[in-house]
A and B are shown apart, each in its own frame.
Chain A
Amino acid sequence: MRILIVEDDAGLRRYVRAAAEEGGFSVDEAACLDDATAHIQSVPYDAVVLDLGLPDGDGLELIKTIRRVRAGLPVLVLTARDSIKDRVKGLDTGADDYLVKPFACEELLARIRALLRRPGQVMGAVLTAGNVTLDTIARDATVAGTPVSLSRHEISILEHLMRRQGRLVPKDILFDNVYGADALPESNTVPVHIHHLRKQLTALGANIEIETHRGLGYLLAVPKEAR
C-alpha cells in the first residue's frame, strides 16, 4: 500500500511518515501543491493524506485535481480549521474523511485503513480486534483461536463494529447495514443480536467489549493492554 503525505510542516511530515511506515505503508512526501500534483500524476497511490494550509495554495485545490485525475483515490484531509463551515466545505469538495489537528497517529492510521477498506477498495480479508479475528470472506470469527458460533446477522454486526473499532457505530447505520435500508424498523433485532454476541464473546474470554451508548449506537472497545 503506497500513500502520499502532503504536509508543509517538516516535523509533522516526519512523524506521520514514521507512523505510517510502521503501520506497513510505503510513504512518499510532498511539501507543496505543485510537488503533490506531480506525484499524483505519476504514481498510482492507494490513499492521500492532505494538509489544507499549504504554502502555494489551498489543499482543496488538490482535491479537485485528484478527482479529475483519479476519481476513486481516497483523500484524508488534515487540517487546523475545524469550524462546521470548513468541514462541510472540505467534504463537499470531495475529501473522504477529515481529521483535525492535533491528532493521534494511531487515529490517523485507523482512519487510513478504514478508507482503504471501503467498498471499491481492496478489502482486508481478516479483521482483528484484541484476541478476536473475523474472516470477512469465510464469514466466521474466532476468539483466541477458538471458533465462535454466530448467526449471519451477528457476523455482519461484529464486522461493522470491528471495522470502526474505538469509534461509534450509530444504531441506524448498523441497522441499515444489517437489514438493508428498506427494512421496517419493527424488524430491528440488533439489540438482541448484540446481547447474544456479547454473551458468546465473554464466554470464550474475549478481551474486547461491545459498549452500548443508549440512543446513539454501539462501540467496540479494545482494552489498552490488549492492543
Chain B
Amino acid sequence: MKFDRNSLVTRLGWRLAMVLAIGTILQMAWLFAHFRGVEDYSEEGLLYELFDFFKDVAWTTPAIGVATFLACAAGMRRHLSSLRAISQQASQILPEERHASLPVDQAPSEVQPLVASVNKGFERLVEAVKVQRRFTANAAHELRTPVAVVQAGLERLPQNEDVVVLRREGERMGRIVGQLLSLARLEGGNGHQLEVLDAAGIVRRAAEPLTHLASAALVTLAFEVELEPLLVQATEEAITEITRNLVENAICHAPAGSEVAIALARDGRLSVIDHGPGIPENHRAHLFERFWRGPWTSRPGSGLGLAIVAEACQRIGATVRCLSTSGGGATFEVRLATAS
C-alpha cells in the first residue's frame, strides 16, 4: 500500500500510534512513581524492574495496539471498497443517461448523505440536459415554417444575383434546421431499442431521394450490395441518418461528372466513396465534431452532417472512420453489427 497522507488508514495509524505512545509514557511514569514510593532502588535496579515488568506484562500494550491498527485498517478498507465500486459506477455515467443515480444503500451510513446529495445533483443535471435538448428540438421545429415562408417568398422574386445568394443561404438554413432536429432526435432517442433489420433495404430507401440532390450537382449515385437482405442490429432511424448524411456530404464534395458509390458488404461494412479532394490525415480527428468544417473547403456545408453520423453510430454501437479512396477522394466506412 502506498503512503498517502490523506488516506483514512494512514490517519488511523497515526492516531493509534499517538494514543499508544501517550499510554506507554503514562504507564512508565506511573510505574516509576509507584516503585519510587514503595522501595528504595538504585537507578539500575529501577531500570531492571521496568524492563522485567515490560517483558512479563507491558509488552501486550503495543501488541494490542498493532493488532487493533491492523484490524481497523482491514475493516476500513473493506468498507471503503463499496465506495470504490460506487465511484466506478459514477465514472461510467454518460451525458445521454436518463436516470443517472448511484446506489445509496451500498455506501457506509456515514457516507450515504454524500451519495444521496450527489444523486440529487445528477437528477438536476439530467433534467437540465433534457430541457436543453427539448429546447433545441422545439426551436428547430418552430423554425421550419418561417424558413419555408422565406424560401417560398424568395422563389417568387425576380431572380437577380442577390436573390440567388439569398436563396442558397435560405436552403442552407433549412438544411441546418433539419439537421438540428435529427441530432436532437437521435440524442433524445426514447425507446430506441435495437432491432434486427435489413440494412440493404433501408440504405436503398434513404439513398433514393438523394439522387435528386446528386442530379442537381451533376453527380450520379451508385448502390452496390453484396447480400440482400443483410440483417443487422440497428434502428431504422440511425441507418437512414448515417446514409443520408454521408451521401449528402459526399455529393457536396464530389466533382461534377463523378460517381458517389454506396457499398454494403456482407460483413456489415457500409462505405460511402467519393472522388473529391479527400480529407488530409491530420484533419480526420476533428471531422465528427459539431460545426467543424475543413479549412480547405469553401463549399457551403453546415458542419453538422458528420456529427449526426457519429451520434447515430454511437446509438447503435457502430464505428465510423474516414479513409482515402484509392485514386483520390474520401471514403467513409461504417461498421454495422450484423445479426446472424
Interface residues of A in 4-29 (CB under 8 A from B): 9, 11-12, 15-16, 18-19
Decide yes or no whether B268 CB sits under 8 A from chain A. no
Q: Contacts of B214 on A, CB cut-off 8 Å?
A: 213
**Stretch in A148-156, A166-174, A176-184, A194-202 with 4+ CB within 8 Å of B:** A166-174
Q: Which range holds the interface residue count of chain A?
A: 20 to 34
Binary CB contact string for chain A from 71 to 85 against chain B (1 if under 8 A, 0 otherwise): 000000000111110
Q: Assess whether B220 is in contact with A11, with CB atoms less than 8 Å apart.
A: no
Partner of A15, one of B156, B170, B225: B156
A15, A81, A101, A219: the one within 8 Å of B212 (CB): A219
User: In the complex, what distance in Å separates the CA atom of A213 from the CA atom of B240?
Assistant: 19
Known: A213-B222, A216-B221. A11 touches B153 (CB 8 A): yes
Does A211 count as interface, using CB distance less than 8 angstroms?
yes
Asked if residues B220 and A102 are in contact (CB atoms below 8 Å), the reply is no
A125 within 8 A of partner (CB): no
Contact of B144 with A by CB under 8 A: yes
Shortest CB–CB separation between residue B244 and chain A, in angstroms? 11
B156, A82: Cβ atoms closer than 8 Å = no
Contact status B208-A168, CB under 8 Å:
yes
Complex CA gap A146/B8 in Å reads 97
* A contact residues around B145 at 8 Å (CB): 9, 12, 80, 101
Smallest CB separation, A221 vs chain B (Å): 5
List the interface of chain B (C-beta within 8 A of A). 141, 144-153, 155-156, 170, 174, 177-178, 181, 185, 204, 207-209, 211-212, 214-215, 220-225, 236-237, 240, 259, 261-262
Determine whether the beta carbon of A84 is less than 8 Å from that of B208. no
Interfacial chain A residues near B222, Cβ < 8 Å: 213-216
Q: Hey, which chain B residues are within 8 Å of A100, CB to CB?
A: 144, 178
Contact A83 B215 (CB under 8 A): no
Known: A19-B152, A214-B224. 4 other contacts (CB 8 A): A101-B147, A102-B170, A215-B223, A216-B211
Knowing A83-B237, A214-B223, say if A219 contacts B148 (CB, 8 Å). Answer: no
* A105 → B minimal CB distance (Å): 5
In the complex formed, the residue of B with least CB distance to A13 is B149
Q: Which residues of B contact A103 (CB under 8 A)?
A: 148, 151
With both beta carbons as reference points, the residue of chain B lying nearest to A10 in the complex is identified as B149
Query: Is A130's beta carbon under 8 Å from chain B?
Result: no
Nearest B residue (CB) for A218: B211
The distance in angstroms between the C-alpha atoms of A217 and B212, with both chains bound, is 12
| Contact pattern, A 105-139, Cβ under 8 Å of B = 1, otherwise 0 | 11000000000000000000000000000000000
